[in-house]
Amino acid sequence: MNGNLDFDHYFSRMDTRLADMWGNIMRTSPMASCVLQGKTTRELYAIYLVETYHYTSHNARNQALVATRPDVRNPIYAKFCMTHASDEYGDEQMALHDLGSLGFSKEASSIPAALPETEALIGYLYWISMTGNPLRRLGYSYWAESCYGYIAPLLQKIKTTLNLAPAQMTFFLAHSEIDQAHFEEVKSAIRRNCKQEADLLDIEQVMEQSLVLTARVMDAALSAHQEFGRKPTRRYDFLTPQIQSM
Amino acid sequence: MNGNLDFDHYFSRMDTRLADMWGNIMRTSPMASCVLQGKTTRELYAIYLVETYHYTSHNARNQALVATRPDVRNPIYAKFCMTHASDEYGDEQMALHDLGSLGFSKEASSIPAALPETEALIGYLYWISMTGNPLRRLGYSYWAESCYGYIAPLLQKIKTTLNLAPAQMTFFLAHSEIDQAHFEEVKSAIRRNCKQEADLLDIEQVMEQSLVLTARVMDAALSAHQEFGRKPTRRYDFLTPQIQSM
Amino acid sequence: MNGNLDFDHYFSRMDTRLADMWGNIMRTSPMASCVLQGKTTRELYAIYLVETYHYTSHNARNQALVATRPDVRNPIYAKFCMTHASDEYGDEQMALHDLGSLGFSKEASSIPAALPETEALIGYLYWISMTGNPLRRLGYSYWAESCYGYIAPLLQKIKTTLNLAPAQMTFFLAHSEIDQAHFEEVKSAIRRNCKQEADLLDIEQVMEQSLVLTARVMDAALSAHQEFGRKPTRRYDFLTPQIQSM
Amino acid sequence: MNGNLDFDHYFSRMDTRLADMWGNIMRTSPMASCVLQGKTTRELYAIYLVETYHYTSHNARNQALVATRPDVRNPIYAKFCMTHASDEYGDEQMALHDLGSLGFSKEASSIPAALPETEALIGYLYWISMTGNPLRRLGYSYWAESCYGYIAPLLQKIKTTLNLAPAQMTFFLAHSEIDQAHFEEVKSAIRRNCKQEADLLDIEQVMEQSLVLTARVMDAALSAHQEFGRKPTRRYDFLTPQIQSM
């Protein structure tokens, strides 16, 4: 029984923590500052879309992986992981589409490999999906499905800075609509499956760490863009035609 | 394009092959002979239900695993694997239920570990799910979802020999109804996803080998039952109360 | 403490069981009969070398995998698995070499994929290496490192039938020398690491099942050869130049 | 051929990069500052030993895992990974020993789970071991086997601040001796196995990212210690007896 868990209080604490963390990101992340100051370039947005493509392409996989674990015996949670993963499978294609609608190559084969910070996020998500408390992956979903309120100012600023049409922001726009329902499902999954305080703490830890690692991906995209500006490398060849045509 | 693949002819060839293989099993399998001669005991049925429980408990897992592979990029097939796995997740509980309705323990913790032949089947299904052509796991689904016509005589004979009520055969009865639709979905998945002759051959090979290994599980259950008759071991302690009460 | 385990008696029982199983293989295996009747062809030997190449190329991998399991905490056993795997890594190259010395292609890229029966063996060995009692993989090593006495008549007959030079049998000859020491190491590993009767039984089960699956690989090679004789397929293209030159 | 790779120049660049990164850690890491200012407590050292225990217990495993990959076909590199892993297997026991010699519990079962930052490091190391260029795990070994010059001031300061005997620092002292030879082996492995510039870049990226993640583990240990000081939780129960006895 989980009658002794106060989920309303827990969600409130989680939301407060998220508000703090996002506030901190907005104040201290070089990438957030760059965006909010209207300094986003099409190349920077493209570089971030590439990293988004990479980690998103693993999200459905690592979520489904939870359901394949021999120690997961709870059909409610396993089915949640499988059907949720099925819903999100292929979402990374929207990031490729947006790259293409910006005029860059949208071929998965032509974009660069994930930055090390992105691999750190990806590796962490597989690790917490494959080991430890299987419920804890819900911590990633918790913030990922509820982030659009927090990142709306960034998206709005990117939109105006680059004068983007909706068809050039499908990944972020589509997610902000879909994920409202998903967020309710995540909270429902927490209510139905968590039986003890330790489950809630494990989910909270993954929420925090996966958001920290995601913020580092944002800043790594900015660093990569700055390095590219100083010394173009073959890594970002796919950006070059765009630069020449400007 | 897969316009050059003649799926109708392929399914016809697969069905002919299955009819041959099942005919061979009916003629040569010691377990099939035992059942058809009306020699099934409750203990033998229970031992087979235990093995059924074991391999079934992995089927959803290894099917979902296909969708987590980095080399699976086809969303139609990946989503098929995830949702199909979600549908079948937990089906092994019916085998436990049937054990319980026979008067045996239905606790997963009290039943014996899988027989080596069952582990051979399980290991093979994980192997072909994790490596090689990702489509080939459809070969297992192909025969598993269409087997009820072939095994109906066995089930009918078990039913009359042991005078079983439907509630004591939920696993096999439920599957025979559900799986009609599933079989059509499997054929549809083959039509939609196979692009070359090699895909069809890979699926055919897995169909044959996984059926061969399953037939060996049947015969291993009979051998285990005979050995138990000669010299009861702690392995089948869960059968003892039933024996005493008879 | 394992003071209560009688290892001498256990090894004696294992050896008796192996003698029985090998005797049975020699009497009933179509491949063994074919070889002992002097009917081996170069193509049949080549087909078996291909399967040997396939399963051997996984042996070091699945043995090392045992040592990577989070539930393996015993450094003596883990180090045994790692160093033993290191010793055997690459042994499959000898099978390729022998193929080459027979005049067939020795390129890994030109030989056919493993037969389904070989995949059943490979999949089983990964499965028992990754799950269940980690010690049980010693059951495969137990018979594999002690098989040369049993298969010597087969090897001798192949040698005379095909008039092979030692350089055309390096895989089997090299193993018969190396493996004497390895067998002692396997027995020593069993003595040092097994603590309870269940460990011994788990090892025994894997010994039996992996030998059964290996015997099926032998017979599958014969079946493949017969099918090739009836209707050559592209699968065995690498044999064709040899046939034409005879 | 790798005749075109200038390894001496590469190692020089790697060492310069490491000197920069370690210099940056010494200047900016809160943990390094705390240690260098002589503010280390036995509890802080214990908390760091716990995290060291956790990530070290995975190092041999993820290194051996490289050798089990189907895409690793190079026996020189595979054998290096296996034997190196065998050498390091169990090293985490030294961290437990040091905990015990400080008077804390040295039972693996009584110490807390890894901090999220430690799981981020562990997950990353498994990820880069299982995917991408198999050679890139050498980047982790490169800095790990050469770090003792950089961290010597920290270790010396901890020693004097806490008045530790060598038997209370076996993990760090033992590694500083063993790892001189290991570092040469790592460089030799790079020389023997890297064939193209991309190999060197992949190794460099992993070196940088795994050191960044390790520095975050250091700072996370300090944060955990500070939080423990403000509000003791059950997580650090194993520290309590020590506190009471002071």
pLDDT tens digit at each of 246 positions of chain D: 456 899 999 999 999 999 999 999 999 999 999 999 999 999 999 999 999 999 999 999 999 999 999 999 999 999 999 999 999 999 999 999 999 999 998 888 889 999 999 999 999 999 999 999 999 999 999 999 999 899 999 999 999 999 999 989 999 987 777 778 889 999 999 999 999 999 999 999 999 999 999 999 999 999 999 998 888 788 888 887 544 444
- The residue in chain C having the minimum alpha-carbon distance to the alpha carbon of residue B119 is C124
* pLDDT confidence of residue D3: 63
- Of the pLDDT bands very low, low, confident and very high (cuts 50, 70, 90), residue C243 is very low
How confident is the model over C47-63, as a mean pLDDT?
97
Alpha-helical (H) ranges within chain A are 7-28, 30-36, 42-68, 75-88, 92-101, 116-130, 138-144, 148-162, 170-193, 197-230, 240-245
The shortest CB-CB distance from A123 to any of D113, D116, D123 is to D123
Instruction: Give phi and psi for A86, each to the nearest 5.
Output: -60, -40
Quick: pLDDT tens for A197-210.
999 999 999 999 99
**A72 Cα to chain D: minimum distance (Å):** 20
- The residue in chain A having the minimum alpha-carbon distance to the alpha carbon of residue D204 is A116
Buried b (16+ CB within 10 A) or exposed e, D142-160: bbbbbbbebbeebbebbbe
Distance in angstroms (rounded) separating the CA atoms of residues B245 and B145: 37
Residues of C in contact with D64 (CB under 8 A): 64-65, 67-68, 82
How confident is the model over B191-207, as a mean pLDDT?
97
- Contact status, residue A117 vs residue A220, Cβ threshold 8 Å: yes
Residue showing tokens 């137990």: C142
Instruction: Name the residue among B217, B222, B216 with its Cα closest to residue B31.
Output: B222
Residues of B in contact with A93 (CB under 8 A): 75
How confident is the model over B88-98, as a mean pLDDT?
94
* D62, D67, D71, D73 alpha-carbon torsion, rounded to 10°: 160
Contacts (Cβ under 8 Å, ≥6 apart) of C2: C191, C194, C195, C196
Contacts (Cβ under 8 Å, ≥6 apart) of C90: C60, D75, D78, D79
- Which of A2-6, A132-136, A242-246, D109-113 shows the lowest mean pLDDT across its residues? A242-246
How confident is the model over B136-143, as a mean pLDDT?
98
Distance in angstroms (rounded) separating the CA atoms of residues D181 and D193: 18
* pLDDT confidence of residue A242: 44
Distance in angstroms (rounded) separating the CA atoms of residues D242 and D102: 9
* Residues in chain C whose Cβ is within 8 Å of chain D: 60-62, 64-65, 67-70, 75, 78-79, 82-83, 85-86, 89-90, 93
Residues of D in contact with C68 (CB under 8 A): 61-62, 64-65, 68
- Contact status, residue C136 vs residue C206, Cβ threshold 8 Å: yes
ipTM of predicted complex: 0.93
Residues of D in contact with A205 (CB under 8 A): 116
Distance in angstroms (rounded) separating the CA atoms of residues D21 and D155: 18
* pLDDT confidence of residue A239: 85
> How many CB atoms lie under 10 A from the CB of residue C85?
27
pTM greater than 0.90 (yes/no):
yes
**What's chain C's average pLDDT?**
93
* pLDDT confidence of residue D237: 86
Which among C61, C62, C66, C68 is the top mutation candidate for probing chain D, defined by the most D β-carbons within 10 Å of its own β-carbon?
A: C68
% of chain C at pLDDT higher than 90: 83
* pLDDT confidence of residue C20: 98
Contact C67 D78 (CB under 8 A): no
Distance in angstroms (rounded) separating the CA atoms of residues B143 and B147: 6
Instruction: Name the residue among A76, A84, A77, A95 with its Cα closest to residue A59.
Output: A84
Quick: pLDDT tens for C76-113.
999 999 999 999 999 999 999 999 999 998 888 889 99
- Contact status, residue B72 vs residue A65, Cβ threshold 8 Å: no
- The residue in chain C having the minimum alpha-carbon distance to the alpha carbon of residue B129 is C123
Token digits of residue D183: 């570092």
- Of the pLDDT bands very low, low, confident and very high (cuts 50, 70, 90), residue A246 is very low
Quick: pLDDT tens for C157-179.
999 999 999 989 999 988 777 77
- The residue in chain B having the minimum alpha-carbon distance to the alpha carbon of residue A91 is B75
